[in-house]
Amino acid sequence: MVPYIELRNINKRFSDVNANDHVDLSVNMGEIHALLGENGAGKSTLMNILYGLDYKDEGEIFVQGQFSDIRTPSDAIALGIGMIHQDFMLIPPFTVTENVVVGLDEEGSSPLLDLDKAARSIKALSEQHGLDVDPHARVEHLSVGEEQRVEILKLLFRNAKLLILDEPTAVLTPQEAEGLFEVLRSLADNDHTIIFITHKLHEVMNISDRVTVMRDGKAIDTLKTESTNPRELAMKMVGREVVFHIDKNLRKSGECVLQIENLHVDDDTGYHKVQGVSLDVHSGEILGLAGVDGNGQSELAQALMNLRPIKEGNIIVNDVDVTNISSSLHRSAGMAYVPADRRKVGSVSELSVALNTILGNINHYTTAGNLIIQDLQVREHAEELVERFDVRPRNLTLDAGKLSGGNLQKVVLGREIMHEPSLLIVEQPSRGLDVGATEYVRRQLLTERDRGTAIFLISAELEEILALSDRIAIIYEGEIMGVINSDEAVVEAIGLMMGGTRLEDLPGYR
């Protein structure tokens, strides 16, 4: 049988990185094919080449056995190839229908718009594939899960037969991810072919038929999913044994560093997102905040860093009231923050990696009354960071925006940790990281804690919370359901609290 897609000997260099090193990949019709690999292994690059966003230096692409020279996304779309990117690409002020129809090749079709007719076909299509969404809603009002369904509808609407999804589950809740998998399975049963990039090994095991592992730009191996296991995949991917369970030292927590008193915060639309949260985090401990994404975690973190107005309540760090201090003073108060969105909030894409490592602390590296940046000192600092956190490639002058998702995360996290804060607030530290980097980042967080830093860890992944935290607070609809010690933590109990049961109402609570 001819493979649906065949990539032969694809090579792509970016200045000093060989992002794709003579890669072969073949994907069969109706297959769900997982693409696995470390951060910076070249997965997105390979898929960008297939979708016409990057052009290969060498190699050939065959679609259903036909040699195809794909130079632009419209070439790819004409061949039935569709891609959903790591960052979503919809136009927020447009309606769902406008987003779906815009860019449709109008050959043969009328140059006039018939949005009502399009809305009806979108409705039908969404019912057929279980992709529930209102065609008339504006995309800016949708949840991430819904946005992703619109992206899929957009591909189906233009008859894409091959769907490429680049880390589609990174921003989804577990329930949303399960919904996505059902859709993908039913699409695959209906002659669609799917390439799926992820770092989560259980997802590979759960959804894929075959899996190709990439490392350092090369395709290492392609395996049948049923005849492999997570340990073997991790081994192939990282090139060494990966430790999934990290041992924690006993906790030596000290005085209270962060004290949150009765905090109330709204989101952008005025919805009351954080409703009277009181918590404390001590030096030398990790307090994990567990909860389904969207229950006020981000708003809470933003309010702590004064990135969002506080309606009521106080924040005290090291006995100083920081509730309304300007964000330029946070560093001197000992606070550091790693936001969930590294690309838009945590970094500046157009600046070099080196300059990104000093963001928020630039005055420390300037002379002549803050007018001149001292390049040498910046370079030393950046080199140390890149070395210590294993950022790849080791190129300090590269625009930060050109780093792969995982490596950018290392830069942001490294910058905050190297400032030796007394309080570190981290959101979704391993989102988008490969298993090796995840292990590494978690170790760094534990080292920071042992050094005496108070860490407030916000994560939608329960497994991560359980692995790292000393105490766990559970948030539901902006309220804390309870705080428990992690050595007494029972997964079922936490699950119940994440669903809205208070600790004191739990069955068997003393």
Partner 1 sequence: MKGFTGPIYSYLAAVLVSMVLVSLLLALFRIPIFETYTLLITGSLGSMTKLGDTLMVSVPLIIASASLVITFKAGLWNIGVEGQIIAGAVAASFIARELQMPTQILLPAMIGAGFLGGAFWGLLVGLLKIRGGVNEIFGGLGLDFVATGLVVYLVIGPWSRKGIASTSGTEPFHENAWFPTVEGFRLSPLAVSVSLLVVLMVIFVFNRTQFGLKLRSIGLNPNSSYRFGIPTSRYILTALVLGGAVAGLAGVTQVASIHHRLVPSISGGYGFLGILVVLLAGYRPFLVIPIAFFFSMIAIGSIQWQLRLGLHSSLGGVFQGTLVLSVVLISAMRLLRQRREKHVKTEE
The only residue of 8, 14, 54, 113 in contact with partner 1, by rule CB under 8 A? 113
- Which of positions 382-401 make contact with ligand ATP (CB under 6 A)? 392-393
Q: Which two tokens stand for residue 286?
A: 């990790």
The only residue of 5, 7, 10, 17 in contact with ligand ATP, by rule CB under 6 A? 17
User: Nearer to partner 1 by C-beta: 51 or 337?
Assistant: 51
344 binds partner 1 (CB under 8 A): no
- Rounded Cα distance between 390 and 93, Å, is 39
The only residue of 101, 122, 322, 398 in contact with partner 1, by rule CB under 8 A? 101
Of 84, 183, 99, the closest CA to residue 140 belongs to 99
Q: Which two tokens stand for residue 307?
A: 């990135």
User: Nearer to partner 1 by C-beta: 22 or 158?
Assistant: 158
How many C-alpha atoms does 440 have within 13 Å on its Cβ side?
20
Q: Is 482 left (phi over 0), alpha (psi -120 to 50) or beta?
A: left
368 binds partner 1 (CB under 8 A): no
| DSSP designation for 226 | G
Shortest reach from residue 45's CB to ligand ATP, in Å = 3
20 binds Mg ion (CB under 5 A): no
Shortest reach from residue 42's CB to ligand ATP, in Å = 4
Q: Give residue 235's Cα distance to chain centre.
A: 22
169 binds Mg ion (CB under 5 A): no
Q: How buried is residue 368: exposed, middle or buried, by Cβ count under 10 Å (0-12/13-18/19+)?
A: exposed
Of 140, 160, 156, the closest CA to residue 96 belongs to 140
The only residue of 65, 103, 254, 499 in contact with partner 1, by rule CB under 8 A? 103
The pairs formed by 344-348 with CB atoms below 8 angstroms and a separation of 24 or more are 346/408, 346/412, 347/400, 347/401, 347/408, 347/411, 347/412, 348/400
31 binds partner 1 (CB under 8 A): no
98 binds partner 1 (CB under 8 A): yes
The only residue of 185, 202, 252, 311 in contact with partner 1, by rule CB under 8 A? 311
Shortest reach from residue 44's CB to ligand ATP, in Å = 3
User: Nearer to ligand ATP by C-beta: 296 or 405?
Assistant: 405
- Which of positions 201-260 make contact with Mg ion (CB under 5 A)? none
The only residue of 8, 85, 123, 502 in contact with partner 1, by rule CB under 8 A? 85
User: Nearer to partner 1 by C-beta: 154 or 471?
Assistant: 154
Cβ neighbours, 10 Å, residue 240: 9
- Rounded Cα distance between 478 and 486, Å, is 21
The only residue of 20, 38, 41, 44 in contact with Mg ion, by rule CB under 5 A? 44
User: Nearer to Mg ion by C-beta: 44 or 295?
Assistant: 44
Cα separations in angstroms, 180 against 31, 132, 144, 357: 16, 11, 12, 36
The only residue of 33, 43, 56, 273 in contact with ligand ATP, by rule CB under 6 A? 43
Cβ neighbours, 10 Å, residue 106: 11
With CB under 6 A as the contact rule, which of the stretches 35-43, 186-194, 220-228, 319-327 interacts with ligand ATP? Answer: 35-43
Of 149, 160, 182, the closest CA to residue 50 belongs to 160
User: Nearer to Mg ion by C-beta: 299 or 434?
Assistant: 434
421 binds ligand ATP (CB under 6 A): no
153 binds partner 1 (CB under 8 A): no
Alpha helical stretches, state H, 166-229: 174-189, 201-207
User: Nearer to ligand ATP by C-beta: 306 or 407?
Assistant: 407
What does 188 interact with, of Mg ion, ligand ATP, partner 1, none (CB < 5 to 8 A by kind)?
A: none
Q: Which two tokens stand for residue 387?
A: 């070395």
Shortest reach from residue 107's CB to partner 1, in Å = 11
- Which of positions 40-69 make contact with partner 1 (CB under 8 A)? 51, 53
The only residue of 271, 349, 363, 372 in contact with partner 1, by rule CB under 8 A? 271
User: Nearer to Mg ion by C-beta: 274 or 403?
Assistant: 403
Local structure of 389: helix, strand or coil:
coil
42 binds ligand ATP (CB under 6 A): yes
Cβ neighbours, 10 Å, residue 205: 16
Q: Are 484 and 472 in contact (CB under 8 A)?
A: yes
Of 306, 370, 434, the closest CA to residue 40 belongs to 434
User: Nearer to partner 1 by C-beta: 78 or 506?
Assistant: 78
Residues sharing a CB contact under 8 Å with residue 328, sequence separation 6 or more, in sequence order? none
Please give the residue ranges that form the binding site for partner 1 (CB under 8 A).
51, 53, 72-74, 76-77, 83, 85, 89-94, 98, 101-106, 109-113, 154, 158, 266, 269-272, 311
Please give the residue ranges that form the binding site for ligand ATP (CB under 6 A).
14, 17, 19, 37, 39-45, 392-393, 402-407
Please give the residue ranges that form the binding site for Mg ion (CB under 5 A).
44
